[in-house]
Amino acid sequence: MKISFSDLAIPATGAVVVFATEGGDLMPSAVALDEATGGAVARAIKASTFKGKAGQSLEILSPANVELSRIILCGIGKEAEFDVIAAQKLGGNVAVRSLATGEKDVTVLFDMDDLACDFATGATLRDYRFDKYRTTETKDDKPSLKSLAIATRQHKDAKKQFETAKKVIDGVFFTRDLVSEPANILYPESFVKEVSALEKLGVEIEVLDEKDMKKLGMGALLGVAMGSARKPYMVVMRWNGGKKKDAPVAFVGKGVTFDTGGISIKPAAGMEDMKWDMGGAGVVSGLMKALAGRKANCNVVGVIGLVENMPSSTAQRPGDVVTSMSGQTIEVINTDAEGRLVLCDALTYVQETYDPRLIVDLATLTGAIIIALGHENAGLFSNNDELATQITTAGLSVNETVWRLPLGKAYDDQIKSDIADMKNVGGRPAGSITAAQFLKRFITKDRPWAHLDIAAMAWSAKDSEVTPKGGTGYGVRLLDRFVADNYEI
């Protein structure tokens, strides 16, 4: 669907969208359209249950006195509460409503000038489809809508703003694509090829193969990959948009392209979902695309560890002890707690190589976080209050929310091992917290660090206002805003 912007005026033909506030009061453009149609909009409201609440809509076919095919009246809720997030949700709702009409071109008369870009952002995010493997769809099965024209008084400003917003949306879509791909298509080697395309945007790419990682002593990450025929990789992505002397902001992502659980194998039911256990790496990749696309004024490094966790005669066993790149030893109690083994070596590598000013890691790390927070928030863990506040604030501004959970010695004691420096699980109690405590052991003293457990957020089983069911791309907009608000020059 193509998004365009134009001056605020009633079109001569086609379908048009107008708005009303809660209580049924028409916005100015809707008033003008009502007058042009001899009161058709007001009569339709009177004959319906439409009250102008957010999410409500009313359709008027072939209205009198004009050549329009239809009018779609949508509620925005209380005007005083109509903000950036509400505008994005409205854009998503209008996109869905327009897609259901069979129209090819729809014009939106948008009176809330300063929120036009946000409306367009929501509409674009909701329009995403992952349909590359659908071969039997008929023409009627596919969306007919080709363009959404947003008519607003400040259309030139909105268009300029949307050009930047679209770069971030491109990053979200890149992440959604990666998360949606099946594991026979997206595995460590092919993942490397996908992210290598970011070089065209100016991202510097470095790839570490199995031999490189062995030399560096990445026994934790390599242990996870032992059972798979797919070779592991680590990809380093660098965006140098800041001053040369400035230390980078670092993002680290878990990239388990398929997770069977290894020898500690998962139940068969639902295992197909484990294609998106690379969600953290997907977010880091999409974020780098967004930052490079909009030419962010900041130095950023993204590191992703790419492995496949499979059971075989060569697979890592429960009870094995591995030595991480940091030199710390780990007793592997459960081979299904593999993501933290991938991340710990990536965390050590990025610190020793780039000495970043801060680190944020992302991972679909624990099922326990879903039990704790449902599908409403990602879990946030941090050793730095300022960093935690920055991430929380950024999440609220783009409606990708987080909830901070505690860390502490009592939780850290749960991962003490009898034979190694630590074990990779701490039992059922506080499973997400002990996983975060494990990662914290690999952060050098006083370096600001945050861990986002996105297991509940990387994939959605249902549609939302700006996200169709499937891969969500959660985290890309959050972290892009985090960088923009706090670390750009």
| Residues belonging to the active site | 266, 340
Q: Which residues contact 327 (CB under 8 A, 6 or more apart)?
A: 217
* Nearest partner of 364 among 278, 422, 245, judged by Cα: 278
Measure the CA angle with vertex 12, ends 9 and 17; round to 5°: 60
User: CB 468: neighbour CB atoms within 10 A?
Assistant: 19
Answer for the pair 59, 70: CB distance below 8 angstroms, yes or no: yes
Contacts of 468 (CB under 8 A, 6+ apart): 126, 128, 129
Report yes or no: 253 and 304 within 8 Å, Cβ to Cβ.
yes
Strands (E), 89-162: 105-109, 147-151
Q: Is 92 in contact with 125 (CB distance < 8 Å)?
A: yes
Contacts of residue 306, Cβ cutoff 8 Å, sequence gap at least 6: 188, 191, 192, 232, 233, 234, 235, 255, 257, 278, 281
What's the CA gap between 337 and 332, in Å, rounded?
A: 8
How many angstroms separate the CA atoms of 302 and 55, rounded? 38
> What whole-number distance in Å separates Cα of residue 280 and Cα of residue 274?
13
